[in-house]
Every structure is written in C-alpha cells, then in structure tokens.
Amino acid sequence: MEEEKHLSIHFSHPAEAMFARILDYYGVEWYYEPRTFDLEWNEKGKVKLAFTPDFYLPDQELFIELTTLRPQLASIKNKKIRLMAELYPNIKIKLMKRRDIRDMMIKYGLYEDAQAIRGTEAQGSNG
C-alpha cells in the first residue's frame, strides 16, 4: 500500500510528505531521492559538490526539487540546478519554490497544510 511506503521514508521537510501524498492520490509513480549527481570536483578528482533531487517521476522522466528557502537563501540550490543543466543536459529537472508548493497545495484543497509551509527554523518563521 502506498501509505506504507511513506512510513519507511524520512522526508526532510513536511512539504515533501505533502507532495508525496498528492502524487499518491493521483496515482503518479515516484521515488524519493533515488539518485545523486556529481557537480564539481577538486583537483584530485574527488567530488566536492553533489546534488540529490527530492523526487523522480519515472513516467515523466522528471526530477523534482522542492525548496522552501527564502529566495535570498536559495542561491546554492539555484547553482546546483544550473550545473545540472550544463553537465546533464538530457536530465529533466524542475525546481518548485515555496510559492509553487503553496499554490499546488491550495489547488488540491490542502489549505491548512499550505499555511504550514515555511522555511527551515534557521530561516525564521516569516512566510
């Protein structure tokens, strides 16, 4: 059962759990953090920057990265998305920002959950 799938996954943020519930409701197959992409290497060839998108939707051949970071704090994720496009041009990836996540939740009737989508505690509680 799909609900059992969620019990074994430790999502990093409540927005990820909500996104997974929406995907399940609509019967969209997904995998949580299934692949890590190397993005930068040091002079010895050791990986110094990597990226693990949150979800993979195999039927769409699409990776999804969710972010609840305030725009001014999202520069590292934006850099990773940019490097992904350069290094892996055949990989489709979509970045869903906090506003996109809230809008999606409202669209699907998850009003209370949408109000709860905030940045991490380190970012404060401003919406």
- Return d(Cα 100, Cα 66) in angstroms, integer: 9
Q: pLDDT at residue 70 above 80? A: no
- Predicted TM-score of the model (pTM): 0.75
- The pLDDT score that the predictor gives to residue 25 is 83
38 has which bridge partners? 50
* Rounded mean pLDDT, 49-54: 95
Spell out the long-range contacts of 120-124 with Cβ–Cβ below 8 A and sequence spacing 24 or more.
120/13, 120/68, 120/69, 123/69, 123/70, 123/73
Averaged pLDDT score across all residues of the chain: 79
Where does 1-86 show beta strands of DSSP type E? 31-32, 37-41, 47-51, 55-57, 62-66
- Asked if residues 69 and 123 have their Cβ atoms less than 8 Å apart, the reply is yes
